[in-house]
Amino acid sequence: MVAFTTGFERWARPAHVPRADGHLVLPYTPFAKQQEFHASNAKYRLFGGAAGPGKSKALLMEAILQANELAGANTLLLRRTFPELEQSLLLYFRRDVPRELYESFNETKHVVTWHNGSTTRFGYCQRENDVYQYQGAEFLFIGIDELTLFTFRQWQFLTSRNRCPIPGAFPCMAGATNPGNIGHAWVKSLWIDKRPAAGMENPVEYDPGDYKFIPARVSDNPIYATDESYLRTLRALPSHLRRAFLDGDWEVFAGQYFDRFDFTSHVLRAEEIDWKPWWPRWISIDWGFEHPAAAYWHTQVPVEPPKDGASGLGEPEAKARQVVTYREFVTRHTAPRDLAREIAARSVASGSGTQNGREKIEAIYLSPDAFARRTDEASIAEQMGDVFASSGFPRPTPADDDRVGGWMLMYQMLDAGEWLLTENCIELIRTLPGLVRDSARIEDIQKMDGDDPADAARYGLKSRYGGHAVQGRQPLDVRLAARVLSPDPTVRAIQARKARIDETHGARPISFVRRWRPNFPFRSR
């Protein structure tokens, strides 16, 4: 029978070699930091902090090790999305684990069955509630690659699956990750700061002794430590990414702009909303060709105030409205007319919230540079506008590009619970937590590659409300339409730009003093 050797000395053998006793050795020789990770007896381990120290490989081998040390046990390895799973953990398994070391591998379910009856499952949790597919399961070991891509709620649920009825078992979990992303704050709290994470219902139950952080950098990996090409790539990153990926600096996101963004509070499933076809809808677009183009669909949802008609501060309050960004389209190298066709096609889909299979779009806000740039005789805005018009949609108007005011509006609406995203807006959800303040202009956000989704969303909120609160003001596009009267496209663009500049200069700080936690029109679960 083929089995694994026992004891930590098994990691010292550099290749899988048949032994006289019939055992085989896993072809894995850990680096010093990987060995420290494997040797730790902490219940919850965190490995890495920087790019390149062999985090994913160590996580994979730990799951294999535990499955083969305890017959009949189950282990689980997770990434946030299936493409990420394919490009890392599954790739390493297929490449580095000899076929004779396991009984079978189910390519459909991504489950390895070992010779001793144990299993290792490869999975992913793209949606917040995907963790519930493991409800009722028991795993001796759970390893989560790029842990900061997961939410605290997902982590908490998975800890309840970390159990094993086999005598002598020690259920434990481990994560491998870089700083940043949506889970940065709670991961840093538990492992780096050694304190309960925000959202813990029973923080007194937190035991810092259960959590062990094994820091590692690219210099701890002999393969990449002298790879000047890879090191140059890391050194060329924007400052906050360089500090995170090269130095493993967990304080880099101390300048995080949207520190109020919380997946649990601000992201929901589209099916939870009782969509109505009469809700106002609009689209915002950040044009790009070499860099990504991003488009978002938004709607205004009426939310009834408390029954006593007061805000909670003794003041009467008008009917509130909540904004939901419910669809995204991000693409690269797409010509203007093709981009407009793709956006129109995504807006003409049957389902709840549509009329005759077509969404009624009230306005399309397009990044101002698209009105000045040309790829042929017509500007980008004109090319897209022709396609939109032929499809029954309004022509685009220049978006309000007030960066500071736009970021402030987004922040305040998140803080007030007045802006929500559906979970299919994957790129925007990934982008928001990684945005940091500009060190030279602290009211602004530092520009970085990949911030296009945030810019597109900003256009949608700032253009719609023109720097005013969501409640009680005439939409910006209505005010602008009254000032854009010329039939000539060029003159119309000039009039629209001038009107928007006037609106921006006349904007006042937004006040969300009177607020309550609104009862969003969820469908009953």
Question: Both 161 and 284 in a single domain?
Answer: no
Domain assignment of residue 347, given as a range: 265-505
The model's pTM is 0.61
Give the pLDDT score at 443.
87
Q: Terminus-to-terminus CA distance in the chain, angstroms?
A: 51
Give the pLDDT score at 520.
55
Question: Both 240 and 321 in a single domain?
Answer: no
CA distances from 428 to 83, 286, 328, 425 (A): 18, 13, 8, 6
Per-residue tokens: 40? 């730790």
Question: Both 183 and 306 in a single domain?
Answer: no
Give the pLDDT score at 9.
42
Give the pLDDT score at 249.
77
Domains contained in the chain, number: 2
- In this structure, is residue 494 part of a structural domain? yes
- In this structure, is residue 489 part of a structural domain? yes
Question: Both 443 and 468 in a single domain?
Answer: yes
Closest by CA position to 288, among listed 493, 455, 460: 455
- In this structure, is residue 513 part of a structural domain? no
Question: Both 385 and 296 in a single domain?
Answer: yes
Give the pLDDT score at 357.
66
Give the pLDDT score at 462.
95
Integer Cα distance of 473 and 461 in angstroms: 13
Give the pLDDT score at 319.
40
User: 445 and 438 in contact (C-beta within 8 Å)?
Assistant: yes
Taking the alpha carbons of 184, 187, 192, 193 in that order, is the dihedral positive or negative?
positive
Question: Both 270 and 181 in a single domain?
Answer: no
**What 8-state DSSP symbol labels residue 342?**
H
Question: Both 373 and 447 in a single domain?
Answer: yes
Average pLDDT along the chain, 525 residues, taken 10 residues at a time: 39 37 73 91 90 86 93 96 94 93 95 95 91 94 94 92 94 92 85 85 90 88 78 76 76 76 86 89 95 95 61 40 92 95 83 62 95 82 95 94 93 91 91 82 83 95 70 51 63 71 50 42 50
Per-residue tokens: 234? 């890391």
What's the CATH number where 170 sits?
3.40.50.300
CA distances from 353 to 274, 321, 325, 464 (A): 9, 17, 14, 20
3-state SS of 366-388 is ECCHHHHCECCCCEHHHHHHHHH
Question: Both 172 and 290 in a single domain?
Answer: no
- In this structure, is residue 408 part of a structural domain? yes
Give the pLDDT score at 291.
87
Question: Both 293 and 389 in a single domain?
Answer: yes
Would strands 361-366 and 141-145 be described as parallel, antiparallel, or unpaired?
unpaired
User: 336 and 369 in contact (C-beta within 8 Å)?
Assistant: no
Question: Both 370 and 493 in a single domain?
Answer: yes
Residue ranges of alpha helices (H) inside 6-149 are 32-39, 55-69, 82-87, 89-96
Question: Both 244 and 269 in a single domain?
Answer: no
| Amino acid occupying residue 447 | K
What's the CATH number where 318 sits?
3.30.420.280
- For residue 143, the surrounding DSSP H or E stretch is strand 141-145
Question: Both 243 and 280 in a single domain?
Answer: no
Give the pLDDT score at 484.
63
